[in-house]
């Protein structure tokens, strides 16, 4: 089964997108596109609350990830 290997980076990238949407929701700047993508990510089994929470904290950390 070539090409079906799961890549953990994919989970993290999707969770970061979900975290960005969550941050936009809290700021009140959601777009229709954000809502469509949020619905899609909510149904995705690779996007889990723990990773979204980690991504949200990573995004909101004081520039520690900008090297």
Q: Do residues 56 and 19 touch, judged by C-beta distance below 8 A?
A: yes
The pTM of this model reads 0.77
Residue 13 has pLDDT above 80, yes or no: yes
3-state DSSP assignment of residue 55:
helix
Among 15, 22, 24, residue whose Cα is nearest residue 55:
15
Tokens of 19: 């975290």
Residues 46-65 have pLDDT tens digits of: 999 999 999 999 998 887 55
């Amino acid at each position: 089964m070539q090409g079906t290997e799961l890549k953990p980076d994919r989970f993290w990238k999707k969770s970061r997108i979900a975290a960005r949407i969550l941050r936009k929701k809290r700021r009140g700047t959601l777009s229709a596109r954000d809502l469509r993508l949020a619905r899609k990510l909510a149904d995705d089994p690779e996007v889990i609350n723990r990773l979204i929470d980690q991504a949200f904290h990573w995004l909101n950390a004081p520039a520690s990830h900008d090297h």
